Amino acid sequence: MTVNKELATFAGGCFWCMVEPFDQRPGIYEVISGYTGGTTENPTYEEVCTNTTGHREAVQIAFDPEIMPYKKLVETFWQQIDPTDAGGQFHDRGESYQTAIFYHTEEQRLIAEQSKQELAASGKFNKPIVTPILPAVTFYPAEDAHQNYYKKQSFHYNLYKKGSGRADFIQENWKKPKNIQALKEKLTPMQYEVTQKNGTEPPFQNEYWNHFQEGIYVDIVSGEVLFSSKDKFDAHCGWPSFTKPIDGHQIVEETDRSHGMFRTEVRSKEGDSHLGHVFPDGPTEHGGLRYCINSAAIRFIPIEKMEEKGYAEYLYLFK
């Protein structure tokens, strides 16, 4: 089988924080932390941190553009950074922490330029968008200790992302405000109770608990893609159950101590809808997880309607 692979390179400040947003997403083969844009050959972390090499900390992503379009990668990149900061990112200052999009093809340059113009025109930021778009040059992988840091040192990574100011900036600038009245008008009473008040619908008395038609399930509020019928199974619990989400980055997991229990709540990223919970009692041959989801929180799109409804890019799941 022919592998369709392209490279994307982004500098977004500390490269520890630029791996997680792209890693393990559909169509992503690999995300490498490294250095690029400077003159020093084979630089070390210590050398780059002196801000004398001309290099910026960056990530290089190998991806399949048919599954994960470059435009979507660029959109993800903007949502991780402060594009109005020319002197670094958050608490990290100096040229090694400056942002940039390094394009590998003319098509990538055009997509990046258009995306930058759209961001500037959106009015989201009241200062100019200063992130440059530059031709890709030699990329030097960083030392092993810096690869997949968010996995290897998850506790320290989360403290750093919060302490540096990045996490709060992302939350403040990219979380969509809710219109409660509009939601009450759009949703049924049960859908509102589940998604907005963390409710739970009755087992075996909901729309999708025993539904196995081919297609995808999206957030009832935002329409963001969540689960595939390919990963659905009968857990005999009375609610729709899945072994994994289509894209883990569209799912937010939070600790839930309500009702005297200790559980992991599952929410949608864009819609901020309560979806259900995830438990470690799923099929071991598929990772051992069970995403127990309320039917009232999701909407089913059958495979034959996916293109019509704007979800054609996810048809690859069924090839």
Q: Which residues are annotated as catalytic?
A: 14, 292
**In degrees rounded to 5, what are phi and psi of residue 165?**
100, -5
**In degrees rounded to 5, what are phi and psi of residue 96?**
-70, -15
Query: Scanning the structure block, which residue is given the tokens 């996916």?
Result: 306
Please write down the long-range contacts of 77-80, taking CB distance under 8 Å and 24 or more positions apart: 77/10, 77/12, 77/21, 77/101, 78/115, 78/119, 79/21, 79/170, 79/174, 80/12, 80/17, 80/18, 80/21, 80/166, 80/170
Nearest alpha carbon to residue 115 among 68, 63, 79, 168:
79
Which amino acid would we find at residue 189? P
Query: Scanning the structure block, which residue is given the tokens 């619908």?
Result: 201
Sheet containing 225-228: which strands, arranged edge to edge? 225-228, 215-219, 298-302
CB 243 within 8 A of CB 290: yes
In 3-state terms, what secondary structure has residue 311?
coil
Token representation of residue 286 = 């598929």
CB 79 within 8 A of CB 129: no
* Cβ-proximal residues to 185 (8 Å cutoff; 6+ apart), any chain: none
- β 274-279/263-268 pair status: antiparallel
Please write down the long-range contacts of 304-308, taking CB distance under 8 Å and 24 or more positions apart: 305/215, 306/215, 306/216
